[in-house]
Amino acid sequence: MQRFYIILLLIHLFSCSSSEEKKSYWLKYAGGRDIMMREQDFSAKIDLDSLKNQKGLMAVGPIENLKGEITIFDGVVYTSTMRNDEALYRKDSVVKAVFLAYGNADEYKKVEVKESVKGLKNIENFIREQAIENSLDLEESFPFYMEAQVENLDYHIIFTEGDGMHGHQAHQKAKRKFKINNANVKIVGVWANSQEEGIYTHNGSRTHLHFINKETLASGHIDDVQLLKGSRIFIPQN
């Protein structure tokens, strides 16, 4: 009888292990904006050499020492920085990140945007609704992306200069702001669970969005955007 219970226990442990291995999506992070600001630590927390060219990988974050933005779409690294007060965009850059949220999914569900969606909060609510509809646990962080037609898109590239304390006011001043209109872009996003909100998202937000324009290589952190009807959002298939 004892042997019988041991066999049952082994079967249970094996089935639990197998179910964990079958998880179809994941999201991890290195460093964090909360630690960065609190401890004034802008050193690199992860080297992108360890992540690039991983098929399907999505990631967002700032370059070490706050010298630009990092966006990874399908394993390809895009960066934006500044030189002589002009934006400089690169593909396949070798950089390191102050903090980075990165993840992947085996399969995505495509959702078409049937009406224009304006503003980050409305987009976040849309992602929330679609995640619930697709039976995703909102306490399991996940990556997502969009193939979007945008009427307008406001973005920034973080780029600090000089030394000294980097508080809220200095952080806002370091954001070099740009705008694009009437364009087709790829948007990379991450959804944070309630415990990770504020670590790789802004406080009060569960999402963090970057974009890339594959034709011009323009990329950056999205501050505001309007998605037009016909845009497509891809969230992990549960």
Per-residue model confidence (pLDDT) at position 10: 44
pLDDT tier, 110 (very low <50, low <70, confident <90, very high otherwise): very high
Q: What pLDDT is attached to residue 7? A: 44
The answer to whether residue 150 is domain-embedded is yes
Q: pLDDT tens for residues 42-73?
A: 999 999 888 888 999 999 999 999 999 999 99
Q: What is the pLDDT of residue 17?
A: 44
Structurally, how many domains does the chain consist of? 1
Percent of the chain with pLDDT over 70: 88
Q: For 139, list phi and psi in degrees, rounded to 5.
A: -95, 10
- Rounded Cα distance between 228 and 104, Å, is 26
Residue 15 lies in a domain: no
Domain enclosing residue 70, as ranges: 25-236
C-alpha–C-alpha distance, residues 30 and 202, integer Å: 16
User: Residue 46 has what pLDDT?
Assistant: 94
Phi, psi of 197 (to 5 degrees): -60, 130
Cβ(206)–Cβ(142) below 8 Å: no
Tens digit of pLDDT for each residue in 150-196? 999 999 999 998 665 577 787 888 899 999 999 999 999 999 999 99
208 inside domain: yes
In the predicted structure, residue 39 carries a pLDDT above the cut 50:
yes
- Return the structure tokens found at 3: 């042997």
| Token digits of residue 61 | 């974050």
Span 25-36, pLDDT tens digits: 999 999 998 888
Say if 19 falls within a structural domain.
Answer: no
Q: Residue 208 corresponds to which amino acid?
A: H
What contacts 68, CB < 8 A, 6 or more positions away?
A: 62, 79, 80, 81, 82, 95, 157, 158, 159
Q: What are phi and psi of 123, to 5 degrees?
A: -65, -40
Q: What is the pLDDT of residues 67-100, one digit of tens each?
A: 999 999 999 999 999 999 999 999 988 899 999 9
Q: Which two tokens stand for residue 44?
A: 């690199």
Residue 35, CB-side half-sphere exposure with 13 Å CA sphere? 15
Question: Does a structural domain hold residue 159?
Answer: yes
Place of tokens 């740009």: 178
User: What is the CATH classification number for the domain harbouring 169?
Assistant: 3.30.1330.80
Q: Is the whole model's pTM more than 0.75, yes or no?
A: yes
Residue 108 located in a structural domain = yes
The SS3 call for residue 47 is: strand
3-state secondary structure at position 29? strand
Residue 56 within any structural domain of the chain: yes
CA–CA dist 150, 181 (Å, integer): 7
